[in-house]
Every structure is written in structure tokens, then in C-alpha cells.
Amino acid sequence: MFKKLSLLVLLFISFSLVKAQEKIPFRITKHNNIIVKTLVNDKDSLDLMFQIAMEDASISPERTRKADHIIFKDEISENNTVKIGKLTKKNIQFFDNELTGHEADGKIGTGIFKGKAFKIDYDNNQFMIYNKMPDLKGYESTPLFSENGQFYIVADNVIGGKQEEVYFLLQSGYSGGILYSNEFADGKELDKKLTVTSEKTLKNSAGKSIVTKQGVLPFLKLGNIVLKDVSAGFFAGDLKTQKTNYFGADLLRRFNWIFDAERKTAYFKPSKYFSEGYYKIK
């Protein structure tokens, strides 16, 4: 009898661990950025933009709310406590004077999910944190490449009738769809091969120009899912500052995402935003 009872207890604990999870609500701005309400060091109430391309956190010089209890030394603040919903995380590092998205006082990165699988649920405006991987029925998967706390995936791009495999940095701080690196844009002659819908020229104090162009990528394939007429930005001109290809917030929101605890695999399936019109960069 005791052995049977012990087995039942172990099975219950095992089942509970698989299902154990936490929810963090968020809202999405009209610029496709995710905003989470946070309490830092039990004193400072801040709206922080979730930035999947960083692990730590930061405060913007343009914030509208006070952050008086985040103590900086040489623009770095160590050992902060962050509360988001029912989740409490300690030893969070903040950087000072980093610009962020609209409606945010700063940024919060993936460090709040360290060691856990997590889901970005765009359908229900929430993060889910798991002790064990949840049911993946209906999801496709893709390898996730991590470097310095940043995540990269591979997607196929159809450019000039040819399929090009591209490594993209997941970048939830960029409101648009794709933003190509200077190296890729120049090497593939995107100025000639993509239909350009708009462009803007800016010059710095030395008279050097940077030209931002928005075009249309006919097809983008992620796994077996194809997106058509994707908004794609790239730069031209004298200044060559864009070193990475971005998979921006407008594309991220078109899927629900699950990331495993080891950050080796990303799982995805279309969200309610999949077929919505593309964000227009102004």
C-alpha cells in the first residue's frame, strides 16, 4: 500500500513539473513592440520593452517614469530585482542611456527566462514559462543559433527569382519586417532586384549620406511556411553601418514562438497576425 501511494505521489509530482508554468501579460504597441509592466527593486514602476536580442535590461534617457532606485556606476547597475506579474528575478543587470522603443522606459531581455523554456504567445498577449517543454502539436521547428545572448535563425529569401538562405537576428526592437545588412544588400544588388517602394536620404555633419530604402521581398520561407510580399528594408549611400540581417517585430508577431531551455531550437506556428498588412516604416 505504501509503495502504491509513493508511486502515485511521484507520478503527481512528475505531472505537475511538466505542467508547471508562469504567465506574464504584455501589450503590443502600434509599432509592434512588446511592453511589460515591471517593478524594479520594489520601488520603480517601469514599462519596459521586451528585447529578444539581449539578455539583460536597460534604461532609456527618454523615459517618462522615474528610475531613482536603480543605482548606476559607470552606466551599469548590478544586482537588481525585477518583478513582472507573479515572476520575481534577482541579480538583473541594467545598462543606462540606451534608447528603446515607443512607449517604453527601457528594455528587458531574455535573462528573465534563463534556464527555462518560454513561449511568446501573441494570440493571448502573454509569455509562458515552462519547467518542461509544452505540447508542440501544430508547431514547426528551426535550429536556433545563439551568440552573445542573441538568437539567429535561417530563412529562405526569393530574390531576383533565386532562393537565398539568410541568417537573421531575431530583433523585436525593430518595428518593421526584414532589414538587410549592408554586405548582403550590396552583394545581392537589392537596389536592382527588389521593388523599392520608398526611400529617404540623410546626411551627417561630414556630408556623408545614408539612404534608407523600403522594398518588397516576393517570398520569405520559414520552415514550410511562406510569407508573400514581405516588407524589406536596406541601406545605401556612403555610410555602411548595418552589419546584421534583422528578422523584425512585424515578422515575429506573425507567429507564436516557443524556445527550448537550451536555446537550441525555436518552435513556431502562425498567430492571429499572420495575414495582417505589413508595418510601414516612416
Dump pLDDT digits (tens) for 56-66. Answer: 999 999 999 99
pTM: 0.90
Asked whether residue 171 is domain-assigned, the answer is yes
Mean pLDDT over 136-153 rounds to: 96
Provide CB contacts within 8 A for 8, sequence distance 6+: none
Assigned C-alpha cell, 201: 536620404
Query: Of 110, 130, 150, which marks where a domain is finished?
Result: 130
pLDDT > 80? residue 16: no
Asked whether residue 237 falls in the same domain as residue 265, the answer is: yes
Mean pLDDT over 212-217 rounds to: 95
What distance in Å separates the CA atoms of residue 221 and residue 223, rounded to the nearest whole number? 6
Share of residues in the chain with pLDDT > 90 (%)? 83
As a 3-state breakdown, the chain gives helix, strand, coil percent values, each rounded to 5, of 15, 50, 40
Q: What pLDDT sits at residue 209?
A: 83
Query: Of 130, 154, 188, which marks where a domain is finished?
Result: 130
Asked whether residue 117 falls in the same domain as residue 186, the answer is: no
Asked whether residue 147 falls in the same domain as residue 122, the answer is: no
Q: What pLDDT sits at residue 176?
A: 96
Asked whether residue 97 falls in the same domain as residue 209, the answer is: no
- Poorest-pLDDT segment among 28-32, 114-118, 233-237, 256-260: 233-237
Asked whether residue 212 is domain-assigned, the answer is yes
What is the per-residue DSSP string for 22-50? EEEE-EE-TTS-EEEEEEETTTEEEEEEE
Asked whether residue 113 falls in the same domain as residue 144, the answer is: no
pLDDT > 60? residue 15: no
For the chain, give the mean pLDDT: 91
What distance in Å separates the CA atoms of residue 231 and residue 251, rounded to the nearest whole number? 9
Give the CATH number of the domain where residue 160 resides: 2.40.70.10
Asked whether residue 278 is domain-assigned, the answer is no
- Poorest-pLDDT segment among 8-12, 126-130, 158-162, 180-184: 8-12
Q: pLDDT band at residue 156, thresholds of 50, 70 and 90?
A: very high
Mean pLDDT over 38-59 rounds to: 98
Asked whether residue 35 falls in the same domain as residue 83, the answer is: yes
Which domain range does residue 85 map to? 20-130
User: b vs e for 48-74, b when ≥16 Cβ sit within 10 Å of the residue's Cβ?
Assistant: bbbbbbbbbbbbbeebeeebeebeeee
What distance in Å separates the CA atoms of residue 41 and residue 120, rounded to the nearest whole number? 25
Asked whether residue 76 is domain-assigned, the answer is yes
Quote the number of domains for the chain: 2
